[in-house]
Amino acid sequence: MSYTVSKPDPSEYAPYYETYVSKVKHSNVVTALLAQLDDTLNLLHTVSAAQALYRYGPGKWSIKEVLGHVTDAERIFSYRALRIARGDKTPLASFDQDPYIAHAGFDRRTWGSLKEEFEVVRRATLALFQSFDPEAWGRSGVASDNPVTVRALAYIIAGHELHHVGILRTRYLSRGETE
């Protein structure tokens, strides 16, 4: 891919995704996603297996659950991007993150397996996005009852990760929970 995939116009996604899209400061989302992989893995490698079970408050997700959620959401957003990029006009359903967390069993998994899964999913996302031509990036579809473009979905993935990494840094890891 030798072209830049610039930030989407707000008309390309539902208003509630602006929180994520606005967090992506890089001028090319594919480059941003690649840089995030190293940055996030470096952060995650500072967290021990015992610390990965930490919750900053009652009813809050553990670090393992946060990472599992980021990975699940990336899969879902990438799947949407694939369908829309390939011209599928079928409206795509929304998803409720809470049942995903409740049924995933992330806290029973090893911390290493969750980090590895995140990396594998991100590399698959990158491979998918690098395969898209300029026309694919501009295609639009409907997800969660709202119009969305492939380009917007890439920025949503990047911004969603930035959002949760920010929460990890400020609410989970700011009090010396890492070694």
pTM equals 0.95
* Distance of alpha carbon 6 from alpha carbon 136, whole angstroms: 14
Cβ atoms within 10 Å, residue 135: 10
* Distance of alpha carbon 45 from alpha carbon 153, whole angstroms: 27
- Helices within 86-147 (DSSP H only): 97-104, 111-131, 134-138
> How confident is residue 27, by pLDDT bands cut at 50, 70 and 90?
confident
> Out of 1.20.120.450, 3.30.365.10, 1.10.150.120, 3.40.630.30, which CATH number does the structure's domain 10-172 have?
1.20.120.450
* Residue 145 in this model has a pLDDT that exceeds 80: yes
The 10s digit of each residue's pLDDT in 68-85 is: 999 999 999 999 999 999
SS3 7: coil
* Residue 2 in this model has a pLDDT that exceeds 70: no
* Residue 178 in this model has a pLDDT that exceeds 50: no
pLDDT of residue 177: 45
Delimit the domains of the chain by residue range. Answer: 10-172
